Amino acid sequence: MTIASSSPPSRLPAGGATETRSKPRTRRDDVSENRGDGRLAAVFIAPALLGFLVFLLWPTLRGIYLSFTRFNLLTPAEWVGLDNYVRMVNDPIFWDSLAVTVEYVVINIGVQTVAALAIAVLLQRLTRSAMLRGIVLTPYLMSNVVAGLVWLWILDTQLGIGNEIISALGADRIPFLADETWAIPTIALINVWRHVGYTALLLFAGLQAIPNDMYEAARVDGASEWRMFWRITMPLLRPVLAVVLIMTVIGSFQVFDTVAVTTAGGPANATNVLQYYIYGSAFGRFQFGYASAMSVALLVVLSAITILQYRLTRAGRTDLG
């Protein structure tokens, strides 16, 4: 956090007549002047800092503390050391829900990234239509719960219009959200449908930063669109793509609402994603200590994945220029 770095080391006196009276500027003067800017800066960042402390840092620290306790919210927390973590390591449902979450993330991010990239490139290379860009974004304007419920009704095995069509075409009905094998891919794709436009738009913004003359030069050299995509677009989009990936992976790991309204973790825990299990343990079973321990585990997993992604994709550096 750099504050007031623009202040010049010395300043010319305001008028020639006062020159004799002015003392040579010392380091102390600079510091006190900077301190004034620093104070102002402090005031400006205070709201954000307050928000960070109250809504992020304090809950995180308290969550970590609670993960070492037995706590039902209404009676004081009781210190139990590593009990919750021992239980977590030995809890097959925890590992199962972690596996279910990873399956979700892989399908969700895999499909979403490829589709978003395709849409972004098509938007950039083929059209200038702002209307089309708007349409791509529309599913994102809908709330997750509404999107989940609408898809639930469309995909219902017995009554959904989706399955009515499948059945009318002579195929067997597909229990999209009610079968162990289908449920997670279905939820992952529902969320792809909702988020792909937004992701595409982020990538599209990244594509706009790639100078057009590169494509022109390549075209003069006789490069095909396919070749340009792999040789120009992909390398230059990498930093943006990396940031988008990190953001979407974190968001994906936190899937909750779609699960809550479509399957409630079922059938037979097949969609019991980690966030849903944490929620159920805390607000259903009042095991806030154990739920906190699982949240800490999720935090560790996400941090590790983010650092790894950042390193692997060299997100901090650009190949441009």
Partner 1 sequence: MRIRLRTLVAATGALALSLVSGCAQQGAAGSSANTVTYWLWDANQLPAYQACAKGFEKENPGLNVKITQLGWSDYWTKLTAGFIAGTQPDVFTDHIQNFGQYADLKVLEPLDDLGIEDSDYQPGLAANWIGKDGHRYGAPKDWDTVALFYNSKMTKDAGLTAEQLNSLAWNPEDGGTFEKTIAHLTIDRNGKRGDEPGFDKNNVKVYGMASNGGGFGDGQTQWSNFAASAGWSYLDKPRWGTKYQYDSKTFQSVVKWYFGLAKKGYMPPLSDYNVQSNQANTQVAAGKAATAFDGAWMISSYAGFKGRDIKTALTPVGPTGKRATMMNGLADSVTKASENKAGAKKWVAYLASDQCQKVVGGYGVVFPATPAGTEAAVAAYRKKGIDVSSFTEPVADKKNFRTFSYPIASYSADMTALMSPAMEDIYGNGKPVSSLDQTNEQINLILSQ
Which of 147/200 has CB closer to partner 1?
147
Residue 227 neighbours by CB distance under 10 Å: 12
**Pairing assessment for the beta strands 78-79 and 69-70 based on DSSP bridges:** antiparallel
Which of 91/133 has CB closer to partner 1?
91
**Closest separation in Å from C-beta 75 to partner 1:** 7
* Span from 16-24, 61-69, 186-194, 259-267 in contact with partner 1 (CB under 8 A): 259-267
To 10 degrees, the CA torsion angle through 190, 192, 193, 194?
A: 90
Which of 114, 141, 234, 264 touches partner 1 by CB under 8 A? 264
Residues 6 or more apart from 236 whose CB is under 8 A from it?
209, 210, 214, 318, 319, 320
**Closest separation in Å from C-beta 274 to partner 1:** 15
**Closest separation in Å from C-beta 247 to partner 1:** 28
Closest CA to 124 of 241, 212, 34, 248: 212
Cβ-contact 258, 234 below 8 angstroms = no
86 binds partner 1 (CB under 8 A): no
How open is the CA angle 166-169-175, to the nearest 5 degrees?
Answer: 20
175 binds partner 1 (CB under 8 A): yes
50 binds partner 1 (CB under 8 A): yes
- What is the DSSP secondary structure assignment for residue 14, as one 8-state letter? S
Tell me the β-bridge partners of 199: none
Which of 7/224 has CB closer to partner 1?
7
261 binds partner 1 (CB under 8 A): yes
169 binds partner 1 (CB under 8 A): no
Query: Applying CB under 8 A, which residues contact partner 1?
Result: 36, 39-40, 43, 46-47, 50, 72-75, 149, 152-153, 156-160, 175, 177-180, 261-262, 264-269, 272, 280, 283-286
